[in-house]
Structure 1
Amino acid sequence: MAGQFSIEPQRVDAPLTQSATFLVLSLVDRPETVRTVRSTLANLENLTKNVSIRDPSASFTCTTGIGSDAWDRLTGLPRPAELHPFPEIKGAAHTAVSTPGDLFFHIRSERRDLCFEFERQLLDCLGDTIVVVDETVGFRYFDLRDLLGFVDGTANPVGRAVPNSTLVAQEEDAAACGGSYIVVQKYVHDLKAWRSLSVEQQEAIIGRTKVENVELDDAPPDHQQAHKSLSTITDENGVEHSILRDNMPFGSPGSSEFGTYFIGYSRRLWVIEQMMQRMFIGSPPGSHDRLLDFSTPLTGTTFFAPSLSFLSSLDPD
Structure 2
Amino acid sequence: MASQHVLAEPATAAIFLVATVDDGGVDGVRDLLADLAGLTRAVAFRSPGDRLTCVAGVGARIWDGLYGEPRPAGLHPFQELAGSKHTAIATPGDLLFHLRARRMDLCFELARQIGLRLSGLATVVDEVHAFKYFDQRDVLGFVDGTENPDDEDAVAAVVVGEEDPSFAGSSYVIVQKYVHDMAAWQANSVEEQERVIGRSKVDDIEMPDSIKPKNSHIALNVIEDEDGNELDIVRDNMVFGNIADGSFGTYFIGYAKTPDVIEQMLRNMFIGDPPGNYDRILDFSTVLTGNLFFVPTADFLEAQPDSPSTPDGSLRIGSLK
Matched with 1:4 is none
**Counterparts in 2 of 1:50-61, with a 5 A limit?**
50-61=42-53
User: Cα RMSD over matched residues?
Assistant: 1.1
Paired amino acid for 2:169: G
Out of 202, 205, 215, the position equivalent to 1:225 is 215
Contact kept in structure 1, 2:43 and 2:110, CA below 8 Å: yes
Cα distance in 1 for partners of 2:118, 2:302 equals 16
* In the alignment, structure 1 residue 29 sits paired with structure 2 residue 19: no
- Calculate the TM-score normalised by the size of structure 1: 0.95
Out of 69, 92, 104, the position equivalent to 2:96 is 104
Cα distance in 2 for partners of 1:316, 1:18 equals 38
**Runs of 4+, deviation exceeding 3 Å:** none
Count matched residues: 307
Matched with 1:118 is 110
Matched with 2:13 is 19
Out of 287, 295, 298, the position equivalent to 1:297 is 287
Matched with 2:296 is 306
**Counterparts in 2 of 1:172-191, with a 5 A limit?**
172-191=163-182
CA-CA distance at 1:218 after TM superposition? 1.9
**Residue identity (%):** 50
* In the alignment, structure 1 residue 261 sits paired with structure 2 residue 251: yes
Contact kept in structure 2, 1:42 and 1:315, CA below 8 Å: no
SS in 1 for 2:69: coil
CA-CA distance at 1:35 after TM superposition? 1.6
Contact kept in structure 1, 2:175 and 2:292, CA below 8 Å: yes
Gaps (5+ residues) in structure 2? Answer: 308-321
- Calculate the TM-score normalised by the size of structure 2: 0.94
Out of 228, 235, 238, the position equivalent to 1:238 is 228
Task: Report Cα offsets for 1:262-293 as digits up to 9, x if no partner.
Answer: 00000121000000000111111111000000
CA-CA distance at 1:81 after TM superposition? 0.6
Cα distance in 1 for partners of 2:192, 2:109 equals 43
Gaps (5+ residues) in structure 1? Answer: 1-6
SS in 2 for 1:233: coil
**Counterparts in 2 of 1:12-91, with a 5 A limit?**
12-30=6-24, 33-91=25-83
Paired amino acid for 1:16: P
SS in 2 for 1:106: strand
Contact kept in structure 2, 1:17 and 1:109, CA below 8 Å: yes
Paired amino acid for 1:23: L
CA-CA distance at 1:219 after TM superposition? 2.9
Contact kept in structure 2, 1:185 and 1:297, CA below 8 Å: yes
Cα distance in 2 for partners of 1:219, 1:257 equals 36
